[in-house]
Amino acid sequence: MTPPRPTLPEAYSKSFGSDGIWLVMIRRLVDYVVNKLKNIILYLLVGLLVVAGCSKDQQPETANPVAGRSETPAAGLDQGLSVIDRERIEAHLRYLADDALRGRMTGSPEYDEAAAYVAKHFEEIGLLPGGEDGSWFQAVPMLARKIDTESASVVFHQDGQEKSQRWKEDFVMGGDVVRDETSITAEVVFVGFGIHAPDMNYTDYDGVDVAGKIIAMFGGAPDTFPHNERAFYSSGITKAEEAVARGAVGVIGLRSRTDQSRYSWERISENAGVRQGMSWINLSGDAANYFPELQGSATINVPPAEELFSRAPISFEDALDAADAGRPLSTPLGTEVTLARKTEHESITSPNIIGILRGSDPELSAEYVVFTAHLDHVGTGVPKNGDDIYNGMYDNAMGSAILIETARAFASMPEPPKRSIIFIALTGEERGLVGSDYYAHYPTVSSDSIIANVNLDMPLLLYPVADIIAFGAEHSSLQNVIDEAISAEDFDLSPDPMPEEVIFIRSDQYSFVKQGVPSVFLVPGFTSSDPNIDGEPIWRGFLQTYYHQPSDDMTRPIDWPSALRFARANVRIGYAVAEDSVRPTWNEGDFFGDKFSR
């Protein structure tokens, strides 16, 4: 039986909608200042307690013993792990991936119902509300955008002639983040991957001037880069920052052979213009990660790309060859292009759902381990076999279900771990990590008190799993914790087998990494414990066939023994970090630690 569909509290519902966005921002600013003051007071009180404690000669040297604390913390962990079962995880899946929630699109009533469902379970488990004004919710103000597809235009100007490209057949584009209408005509310069990476001894910008130009570039980064560095330099934000710094005014996306092999043009273009894009709004009222200098953008198919290079000193095939080799080959293309569009905008809010389990140590409880999973999916879209609901069972009802049961496991322990733990069901991941980026900038606790993030996103449990890929583990002291935790659940640790997917930057832990927080994101690997099953084609087959499709629903297979082991492994990681007297640290000389550490 499907459980009743809860609704959000009235006070929260009233803060939604375009008329409420400024109220949300003002309240958020007040909350931000109040939280800062609270933490200053907390640190002063802790300091006074420490001084007072040190003045007593009879005080033992052990750090802040907790009265009545179990002599065997492992027994408490085992008790928490024992509550993780299939029945509850499956019930969450059936609710969250049901057609009634219509794919849980950020900002939709159905997403709000999913949010209320998570909050209800957080309350039932015994967590404390960690949102705004004593609620479970952190309202994330956003500016939503949707392109007017009739106005979308890409025109090539060659040899005194104009050729208009065809929407969805030749090109796709999204709306402008802020402006209602944009149009730019400029010369096009090919810049390879659009990367300037002196630490990798690589740049695509030598010998070309892109000031006042539209740049044409491939997605991704050279496969000669180490896999997480490859992910960093593949980021659209990283590339946009570099392009703007050099004076570019527009971007044309090209598809490398790697991109072409990953997804067909039909798959890329089928839902173009159907769904809203979204950006979160900062305390100054500005859209985050917005580059107004870039006045137009589009992604083009292979045939128009070949035409774009037809007046250039190199062919599109030459450009593809250079990308395959990781070799810069930048050059002006000898063609002007016009990029134009109109965009409709709407102010919305959508909540992160936050619960807190207070730690048991008087001092360490002021620090937090954060578990995250995104609750949203992509909503509805182009029908497939008559089905237009993109349910998102694996992506990410599965992660959300495991998040809820991870919270239950910790709350069921006879005594909480030393540090506090925050559990967040995030909004807007599918819209560009919107909810996590907002929380990482405006946490509901002191930003300095967040010591680690463990993220749960699309764990594909399609067969008996023998290994785990731990994105981010190798960058910090979390590596040792993760090795022990997954080994305890009979998993091996494997390196990233698909660096071309640049997964490290595509999920919510990256928002915390950029704020200097050591983070990890676990997914099942390609190795099956059944020698008759090859996991790799099953894994890759899911990406090709079911990822972001209506068929990612409860008809997908689930290997439940693997699912329970995977859930327990994540609990073990969080518990070990919460119990350790030392915070996780970035490894000395680490790429991400050097860029982002606090």
d(CA 538, CA 543) in angstroms, rounded, equals 9
pLDDT at 458: 97
Q: How confident is the model at residue 502 (pLDDT cuts 50, 70, 90)?
A: confident
Report the range of poorest mean pLDDT among 123-132, 388-397, 495-504. 495-504
Q: How confident is the model at residue 29 (pLDDT cuts 50, 70, 90)?
A: low
pLDDT at 265 over 70: yes
Question: Half-sphere exposure of 232 toward its Cβ, with a 13 Å CA cutoff?
Answer: 18
DSSP state letter for 366? G
pLDDT at 71 over 60: no
pLDDT at 597: 87
Pairing of strands 420-426, 368-374: parallel
d(CA 562, CA 461) in angstroms, rounded, equals 6
Contact 225, 232 (CB under 8 A): no
pLDDT at 351: 98
312-354, pLDDT tens digit by residue?
A: 999 999 999 999 999 999 999 999 999 999 999 999 999 999 9
The predicted model gives 410-417 an average pLDDT of: 97
The predicted model gives 444-448 an average pLDDT of: 97
Contact 501, 263 (CB under 8 A): no
Q: Which fold, 145-345?
A: Glucose Oxidase; domain 1 (3.50.30)
Q: Where are the beta strands (DSSP E) in 80-136?
A: 128-129
Q: How confident is the model at residue 70 (pLDDT cuts 50, 70, 90)?
A: very low
d(CA 153, CA 172) in angstroms, rounded, equals 9
Q: How confident is the model at residue 10 (pLDDT cuts 50, 70, 90)?
A: very low
536-577, pLDDT tens digit by residue?
A: 999 999 999 999 999 999 999 999 999 999 999 999 999 999
CATH superfamily of the domain spanning 10-59+76-135+358-526+559-596:
Zn peptidases (3.40.630.10)
What is the number of other CB atoms lying within 10 angstroms of the CB of residue 519? 31
Query: What is the pLDDT of the chain when averaged over all its residues?
Result: 90
pLDDT at 27: 52
> If you compute the radius of gyration of the chain from its CA atoms, what whole number of angstroms results?
25
Does 23 or 430 have the greater pLDDT score?
430
198-212, pLDDT tens digit by residue?
A: 999 999 999 999 999
Percent of the chain with pLDDT over 70: 88
Token duo for residue 324 = 């395959």
Task: Decide: helix, strand or coil at residue 192.
Answer: coil
Contact 286, 157 (CB under 8 A): no
Q: Tell me the C-alpha to C-alpha distance, in Å, between residue 296 and each of 182, 183, 214.
A: 7, 7, 8
The predicted model gives 82-99 an average pLDDT of: 98
pLDDT at 498 over 60: yes
pLDDT at 33 over 80: no
Q: How confident is the model at residue 73 (pLDDT cuts 50, 70, 90)?
A: low
Closest CA relative to residue 106, chosen from 270, 289, 346, 348: 348
The predicted model gives 152-163 an average pLDDT of: 97
Pairing of strands 196-197, 181-190: unpaired
Same fold, 10-59+76-135+358-526+559-596 and 145-345: no
Pairing of strands 387-389, 380-384: antiparallel
User: Where are the domains positioned within the chain?
Assistant: 10-59+76-135+358-526+559-596, 145-345
Contact 520, 453 (CB under 8 A): yes
Token duo for residue 302 = 């292979």
Contact 139, 280 (CB under 8 A): no
d(CA 587, CA 335) in angstroms, rounded, equals 47
Closest CA relative to residue 201, chosen from 40, 326, 291, 298: 326
pLDDT at 31: 52
Percent of the chain with pLDDT over 90: 85
pLDDT at 58 over 80: no
The predicted model gives 449-457 an average pLDDT of: 98
The residue written with tokens 């599918």 in the block is: 430
d(CA 39, CA 41) in angstroms, rounded, equals 5
Query: What's the start-to-end Cα distance of the chain, in Å?
Result: 49
pLDDT at 454 over 80: yes
Report the range of poorest mean pLDDT among 11-25, 248-262, 466-480, 524-538. 11-25
pLDDT at 302 over 80: yes
Q: How confident is the model at residue 41 (pLDDT cuts 50, 70, 90)?
A: very low
pLDDT at 54 over 70: no
The predicted model gives 170-191 an average pLDDT of: 98
DSSP codes of every residue in 214-249: EEEEESS--TTS-HHHHHHHH-HHHHHHHHHHTT--
